[in-house]
Amino acid sequence: MALRPFFVALAAAVIVLCFGMGSNATEEANDEAIVRATYHLYCPETINWDLGAVNAYCTTWDEDKPFAWRQEYGWTAFCGPVGPAGQASCGRCLHLTNVETGAETTARIVDQCTNGGLDLDYHVFMSLDTDGNGIFRGHLTVKYKFIDDC
């Protein structure tokens, strides 16, 4: 009988742990997270959307993509905590939302970063920074979600 409270507590801990893991699994399945986004001066419009000119990580796999594909969306480096990494992220698109203002856009992953979030091309950053607070602080808080239709 003395073990009964122990087993009740153990069962409760297992339930909490399972529900916690379940929410993580859902987040990962959605490939969605909230991260810090900084900006980078890729300036693709000045280099004819040439990935090699900026030594982007994804150049090896995406430099021969059609011009229309390379210019369809603004560029970003990706190193977020949720979703594919490395080559598997190259060419994928992200739906981005500024969590403070609700401004939204889409960006294509062309590079890697090390800041644990996103390094957006300046024009992508500015399209999300509708209140000017991001440029003032040097970063935005952005929700990203991988999308398949790009």
Q: What is the pLDDT of residue 31?
A: 76
Quick one: tokens of 50? 């040439």
* CB 114 within 8 Å of CB 81: no
Q: For 59-87, how does the pLDDT look when each residue is reduced to its tens digit (9 = 90+)?
A: 999 999 999 999 999 999 999 999 999 99
* CB 77 within 8 Å of CB 118: yes
On the question of pLDDT at 9 being above 50, the answer is: no
On the question of pLDDT at 25 being above 80, the answer is: no
**Predicted structure pTM score:** 0.80
> What is the distance, to the nearest Å, from the Cα of residue 34 to the centroid of all Cα atoms in its chain?
8
Q: Distance (Å, rounded) from C-alpha 75 to C-alpha 73?
A: 6
User: What is the average per-residue pLDDT within 121-150?
Assistant: 97
Q: For 31-61, how does the pLDDT look when each residue is reduced to its tens digit (9 = 90+)?
A: 799 999 999 999 999 999 999 999 999 999 9
Mean pLDDT, the chain, integer = 85
CATH superfamily for 33-147 is RlpA-like domain (2.40.40.10)
- Tokens 């970003």, residue? 76
Q: Distance (Å, rounded) from C-alpha 31 to C-alpha 36?
A: 16
Q: What is the pLDDT of residue 106?
A: 98
On the question of pLDDT at 1 being above 60, the answer is: no
Q: What is the pLDDT of residue 2?
A: 56
Pairing of strands 93-98, 140-147: antiparallel
Of 112, 42, 103, residue with least CA distance to 77: 112
Quick one: tokens of 26? 């859902």
